[in-house]
Structure 1
């Protein structure tokens, strides 16, 4: 709905006919509540801001709006509502003077005349009441157009969201939401989804950390077993630290597939065995050449097979046989392997 689109009284009366009884009751109560709120808030504001105008403050604080009555479309022929001046009314405002107990009934144009409320404050009250009428126009037009939340781009509302009371009242009465309520609902949904995403990410992070911790514990346990079982595969001549060589063997022992990459081995050494994350200016890990050298050592012993060289970026290997009983690495042979290794 265009926020500047306002209905004539005749148009309002026609659209009101489209409402069921529950919706009509809601609109009537909405208008009454809105007018009472406007009246009370503006008088309270005037009272708070009238420090030097005691007379105005006294007048403004004396009155309260008791009721607002609509005589209906045929008010000109059947209305029983009248202003203090005797004029028949469509809309009658009933106000109460808290000081004297006096009750007055009049139309919107006679606020100042019958209450003594200052002219500017009366204008503000009328303006506030008009705003309530314009919001009713929005409700009536949306209802006539078959408006739903889908038209506002809201497909579903998460069940866990705490829906504000005024919005829930619209839902309960089957009445379209106002644009300002739609915006508030969108913001609440967005806040909820952001919070849920944050919780999800935190849960994933915690789950990943838990999995990583279990992996570290498993790796720690396997290091001892692998050291006893595959100790012969540790070379004293290859420039990869021996505890990292053992880490490579643990990685291979725990691997669930036969094929792997040299980069995968490097990442595992960093995560689980304390290897350095330092890199060359190219971005390649410093440990990569040494890891490849050790893997080639295992290839020369028939434990691995080189499947593919991917330039200087990576190498793919396949496990052939990790049994270590036949490994006898002579010092001279290891020196030769080291010289032949070329990245």
Structure 2
């Protein structure tokens, strides 16, 4: 934590309602992501960087993070499962049973019965999110202003558009992301060719420069490339039906969909040396052939995010 609780409260009180609402929404989604990431990785799932919390939660069948309340001070109105009065009350829900639990972060392990290492990972993730809030508040205090060309970045994400329009500073990590953001196009060649290529992965394209979204080849040894060329010859009818159901239910990560096929639909768990499922390029190809107007967003070199129009 960079700021004390008192300093943070004072800075937040100086923001308008829309700014506070945006930051609260950001905190909840970020904590959902940190919580789901820790739970999914503990179960052995391969989670791509920058995956949306909804996509990660699709891999889970037990506890997911649903939000928190801040009473402003320690209050009997907010209590832990143990009965202790709280200022910050976190809430989780069991996807299988529907059970809801509310507690202080220090009692996460006791009330959910999860491993101490997972609890430590979740707490570390929550602390990193607090640092991000402090970074934004300190930038406001120092009269931060966006670069003159910030709004001209191709396909500026909606969240960043809203953040800037509310007069809220960008995080350093968001600025770095924009500096290497490529142009996003819907039309693209088959991913199958790129996955099986032995070419090295190219450097990120500069902003507004032409960029081939299928050029994220994984550097494979020659022997591995030969092996890959004999697999991934398309999805079965059952797999195609499952992919459509996931996409239409809002699961946008092709990587997560691939993991769900392996876990729930009997797809062979074959992977590239980087850990990416070999079924992944077939999933991408099928989605883009089935939904011609779907919005495609490249998530680094390891995932593609799909959004229905």
TM-score tier after normalising by the smaller chain length: 0.5 to 0.7
TM-score (norm 1): 0.48
Q: Say if 2:179 and 2:207, in contact at 8 Å, map to a contact too.
A: no
Where does residue 124 of structure 2 map in the other structure? 127
Q: Which of 100, 106, 111 is 2:108 aligned to?
A: 111
Q: Does 1:19 align with 2:15?
A: yes
Find out whether 1:177 has 2:170 as its counterpart: yes
1:64 is aligned to: 64
Instruction: Quote how far apart the aligned CAs of 1:95 are.
Output: 1.2
Cα RMSD (Å) of the superposition?
2.4
Bigger relative contact order (CA 8 A; separation at least 6): 2
Tell me which residue corresponds to 2:31: 35
- Alpha-carbon shift at residue 61 of structure 1 (Å): 4.3
Higher helix share: 1
Q: Write the distance in 2 (CA, Å) between the matches of 1:66 and 1:10.
A: 26
* Structure 2 spans left out of the alignment, 5+ residues: 47-59, 183-204, 212-309
Name the CA distance, whole Å, in 1 between partners of 2:181 and 2:44.
33
Could you say what secondary structure the match of 2:42 adopts?
A: helix
Moved over 4 A (4+): 193-196
Q: How far did residue 103 of structure 1 move?
A: 1.4
Larger Rg: 1
Q: Deviations over 1:23-57 (max 9, x none)?
A: 0111111111111111112111111269xxxxxxx
Q: For the structure 1 residues 145 and 182, does the alpha-carbon distance in structure 2 shift closer, same or farther, using more than 3 Å as the test?
A: same
Matches within 5 A, 1:173-322: 173-188=166-181, 191-195=206-210
- 2:191: which partner in 1? none
Cα 1:173–1:160 shift into 2, 3 Å? closer
The 8 Å contact of residues 63 and 94 in structure 2, kept in 1 or not, is answered as yes
Q: Which consecutive unaligned segments of at least 5 residues does structure 1 have?
A: 51-59, 197-343
Provide TM-score, normalisation by structure 2: 0.53
